[in-house]
Amino acid sequence: MKNREVVIIGTGLTKFGERWNQSLRDLIAEAGVKAVEESRIKGKEVDALYVGCMASGRLICQEHIGALVADQVGLNPIPSTRVEAACASGGAALRTGYLAVASGEHDTVVVGGGEKMADISTGRVNFALGGAGDQETEIFNGATFAGIYALMARKHMQEYGTTEEQLAEIAVKNHENGAKNPHAQLRRKISIEEVMKSPPVSDPLKLFDCSPITDGAAAVVLTTKEKAKGKKYIEIAASEQASDTLSLSNRRSITKLEATEIASRNLYRKTGISPSQLDFVEVHDCFTIAEIMAMEDLGLYEKGKAAEAVENGETRLSGKIPVNPSGGLKSKGHPVGATGVAQAVEAYKQLTGEAGKRQIENAELGLAHNVGGSGATAIVTLFKKQEASR
């Protein structure tokens, strides 16, 4: 039923980290310009912009991010629209841009995402991020996202015997990958001992179980397969999105994200792909426990079996199914509005063979998984290598 096939012809990523000298508009523009350059198109070929951004209102007193970005990159008067789905804002912008091209409305769109988080105190950032949860039942009562994911971790431990050491394995593996990613925020290897000795944030989660606070932006250029002829590209083979209750208290289970299960099952059904065919996945590891749940919810492992697979090295770059080759949110960093778009950038790099020291051999199919809040939004996107015949 889809009108046209949609592909990615170029990508841009800023260095993730504490970018004291750049504003949000600088960062998104930097990523967008890089993406346009890599695509070898001219600015005037861009028909529209979609921008993922979660909390710019509270973080930098600025809404209207679509117009802000169009203005900064000098692409007025093309339409430019912000999409928000908490920490899945980037994935939601990607999906919206994808539908805009698939619909026939636009031929070429740039999807960007960004967040400027380091300028205000950690406490205020935490409170702003709380906007992803249920203000009335959770955040108003003092819950933080570390606290919410700590509840999930504790329950996962109780139900499946998951250990703190196994959570630490996630952080170690992601730092190992991130150390190979020049755009990553925390580019150093760490040990299980370092994670275990890091200060508690919300028991059982420690500092090194948490993704950092990050400034950064990402962008991709989407166009039709027809327009991409002669260019290097990857296909967006499918995009699915699902929702769940905003508050953890209304869920049947807190050891899985049902929205992830539903979105990925829909994607597998519609494409005929099974999880075992995937060559890598980029998952939403805002906390280490989130990566364990994602592996299970995406159907890569049975419920309760993911942690062991991590211990066995199955999800390392050289393993059976590499998870977060980019370093993930944990090591690469998590500028919330950028994250879903940055996952697509990694998919492009892996599937075009440009991932450098973290390249996965013969990668042909990759999946990105972007989560809003504690799972009230989940977006999964399937990326496919350009066919050799082209």
The piece of 57-65, 314-322, 343-351, 358-366 that touches a copy of itself (CB under 8 A) is 57-65
The piece of 67-75, 112-120, 215-223, 300-308 that touches a copy of itself (CB under 8 A) is 67-75
For residue 96, state whether it binds a copy of itself (rule: CB under 8 A).
Answer: yes
Tokens describing residue 106: 């636009």
CA distance 153 to 59: 28
- The DSSP bridge partners found for residue 12 are 219
For residue 26, state whether it binds a copy of itself (rule: CB under 8 A).
Answer: no
Q: How far is the CB of 201 from a copy of itself (least distance, A)?
A: 22
Question: Contacting a copy of itself (CB under 8 A), which of 11, 14, 22, 80?
Answer: 80
Tokens describing residue 326: 């980019």
> Beta 48-52 vs 6-13: how paired, if at all?
unpaired
Q: Cβ of 304: how many Cβ atoms within 10 Å?
A: 15
Whether 87 is a known active-site residue: answer yes
The label of the residue with tokens 């829909």 reads: 266
Question: Contacting a copy of itself (CB under 8 A), which of 5, 18, 58, 164?
Answer: 58
For residue 342, state whether it binds a copy of itself (rule: CB under 8 A).
Answer: no
* Cβ burial, residue 83 (10 Å; 0-12/13-18/19+): buried
For residue 347, state whether it binds a copy of itself (rule: CB under 8 A).
Answer: no
Question: Contacting a copy of itself (CB under 8 A), which of 15, 33, 126, 135?
Answer: 135
The piece of 37-45, 143-151, 257-265, 343-351 that touches a copy of itself (CB under 8 A) is 257-265
Sheet order of strands, 377-385 included = 48-52, 109-115, 216-224, 6-13, 234-243, 377-385, 365-372, 280-282
Q: With respect to a copy of itself, which residue has the nearer C-beta, 162 or 247?
A: 247
For residue 262, state whether it binds a copy of itself (rule: CB under 8 A).
Answer: yes
- What are the Cα distances from residue 239, in Å, to 41, 77, 104, 265, 311? 25, 28, 17, 12, 30
Closest CA to 35 of 132, 113, 130, 100: 113
Peptide bond into 77 cis (omega under 30): yes
Q: How far is the CB of 260 from a copy of itself (least distance, A)?
A: 10
Catalytic residue among 106, 183, 334, 369, which?
334
- Strands (DSSP E) contained in 189-339 are 200-202, 205-206, 216-224, 234-243, 280-282
For residue 377, state whether it binds a copy of itself (rule: CB under 8 A).
Answer: yes
Which residues lie below 8 Å from residue 140, measured CB to CB, with a gap of 6+?
A: none
Which residues lie below 8 Å from residue 359, measured CB to CB, with a gap of 6+?
A: 350, 353
For residue 380, state whether it binds a copy of itself (rule: CB under 8 A).
Answer: no
Tokens describing residue 90: 């980037």
Q: How far is the CB of 128 from a copy of itself (least distance, A)?
A: 7
Contacting a copy of itself within 139-168 (CB under 8 A)? 139-140
The piece of 158-166, 200-208, 355-363, 368-376 that touches a copy of itself (CB under 8 A) is 368-376
Question: Contacting a copy of itself (CB under 8 A), which of 18, 33, 67, 155?
Answer: 67
Catalytic residue among 53, 87, 210, 286, which?
87
CA angle 141, 134, 381 (to 5 degrees): 145
Residues 263-302, one symbol each (x = binds a copy of itself by CB under 8 A, - = not), give x---------------------------------------
For residue 102, state whether it binds a copy of itself (rule: CB under 8 A).
Answer: yes
Size of the site for a copy of itself (CB under 8 A): 70
Residues marked as catalytic: 87, 334
Which residues would be at the binding site for a copy of itself (CB under 8 A)?
1-3, 23, 48, 54-58, 60-68, 70-71, 75-86, 92, 95-96, 99-100, 102-105, 127-128, 130-136, 139-140, 240-247, 250, 258-259, 262-263, 372-373, 376-377
